[in-house]
Amino acid sequence: GGWWTVLTRPGQLSFDNYSALLGNAGMTRAFWNTVLISVPATVLVVVIAALAGYAFAWLEFPFRDTIFLVVVALLVVPVQIGLLPVAKLFGALGLFGTIPGVVLFHVSYGLPFAIFLLRNYFAEMPKEMLEAARMDGGSEWRIFTRLVLP
């Protein structure tokens, strides 16, 4: 039978394949590698991009627009362009083939899009709301954590 038999014979459903999969040491290791890479990479991208997006949207600092333009320009650079230089750099730093190296790779290539997305989202927030919070004595950190992030 195939997958279509699930719809016709519900009595044959079992978890045998899942137990066989989880009993395989290689698959268990692959699962934990996935968790150890995807969770920190996602958390780091979201945290860094949220901070950078807020800064690009609402804080005034020298070369803000130029730096944001560079971030956006990184979106059009194919990943393959940077593979060899990154591999050489990671090899020199001892990160090649390590979980922290893979996490760093995912973070560095995920940040430009996340920063672009969050900056545009934060820029659409009403300016008056943020000004009112500043007038009430809110610090930039408090405004960011209490108004912008939620």
Q: What is the pLDDT of residues 90-139, one digit of tens each?
A: 999 999 999 999 999 999 999 999 999 999 999 999 999 999 999 999 99
Query: Is 33 a member of any domain?
Result: no
Does residue 23 lie within any of the structural domains?
Answer: no
Number of domains in the chain: 1
In a domain, 13, yes or no: no
Task: Report if residue 90 sits inside a domain.
Answer: yes
Q: Is residue 134 part of a domain?
A: yes
Burial grade of 71 (CB within 10 A; 0-12, 13-18, 19 or more): buried
The answer to whether 134 touches 143, Cβ cutoff 8 Å, is yes
Domain around 74: 38-148
- Tens digits of residue pLDDT in 37-80: 999 999 999 999 999 999 999 999 999 999 999 999 999 989 89
pLDDT class of 15 with cuts at 50, 70, 90:
confident
Distance CA 49, CA 149 (A): 12
Instruction: Give the CATH number for residue 144.
Output: 1.10.3720.10
Q: Is residue 102 part of a domain?
A: yes
pLDDT of residue 1: 56
Q: What angle do CA 49, 53, 58 make, to 5 degrees?
A: 155
Distance of CA 147 to the CA centre of its chain: 22
DSSP string covering 61-130: -TTHHHHHHHHHHGGGS-HHHHHHHHHHHHHHHT-TTSHHHHHHHHHHHHHHHHHHHHHHHHHTS-HHHH
DSSP letter (8 states) at residue 13 = -
Residue 49 domain-assigned (yes or no): yes
pTM of the full structure: 0.79
Is residue 10 over pLDDT 80?
no
In a domain, 42, yes or no: yes
pLDDT category of residue 24 using cuts at 50, 70 and 90: confident
Give me the amino acid identity at 5.
Answer: T
